Chain A
Amino acid sequence: SQKIEQNSEALNIQEGKTATLTCNYTNYSPAYLQWYRQDPGRGPVFLLLIRENEKEKRKERLKVTFDTTLKQSLFHITASQPADSATYLCALDEGNTGFQKLVFGTGTRLLVSP
């Protein structure tokens, strides 16, 4: 069956450290993968999109990798700050639908302590 998995346990790190979140998927062949941030009581906010032919993408303190062989994406936040505390969702395109049909993971909660 098709699955997209993120670590359901919260990730606790200290300010200034690098946070690394994992997204694994099975039985999908996505052309791209996206990462979103969601704060409590709010809608998700887009962060980064990475295509299948891109190994790595960066945006300021954020870095995403995409390994289509391992079927895994890693999301890194360097020099983390308490304001980075949120739930991070990965989403991939289900594919073969003719439109952008996103499948979301359940998200990983990141807690950055001062």
Chain B
Amino acid sequence: NAGVMQNPRHLVRRRGQEARLRCSPMKGHSHVYWYRQLPEEGLKFMVYLQKENIIDESGMPKERFSAEFPKEGPSILRIQQVVRGDSAAYFCASSPPSAGASEQYFGPGTRLTVT
């Protein structure tokens, strides 16, 4: 059973370009979470999605950031008009469709560098 997959692993974008980060959850998992990790900072929750639904996006910046988890295909985190401050590691995690507490399975992350 393949783990959570993220691609690309490294992404370099110039200021003003768009960044698209992809996440394929573990097989059978229908819950996807995106986190951002800045150097020397902890993981910060961004958004929680289920198939075709954004459940909570309270951690997402109001502008330029969007996320989706379509019926078919991976979850996408999209950052428009990137700025230097968007440089960070972005992690996706998934969990099974069970109620209550459960561990989250993380992907290897996408390291975004904005030049």
Contacts and interface: CB of A to CB of B under 8 A. Distances in A.
Contacts of B95: 100
Given A43-B108, A43-B109, A93 B101 contact: yes
Interface residues of A, number: 26
Nearest to A105: B42
Interface string A24-52: 00000001101010000111111001010
B56 A97 contact: yes
Interface in A38-82: 41-46, 49, 51
A18 interface: no
Nearest to A36: B106
Contacts, number: 58
Contacts of A104: 35, 42-44
Given A104-B43, A105-B42, A107-B42, A43 B56 contact: no
Contacts of A44: 43, 91, 106
B101 A32 contact: yes
B109 A42 contact: yes
B72 interface: no
Interface of B: 4, 31, 33, 35, 40-45, 48, 55-56, 91, 93, 95, 101-109
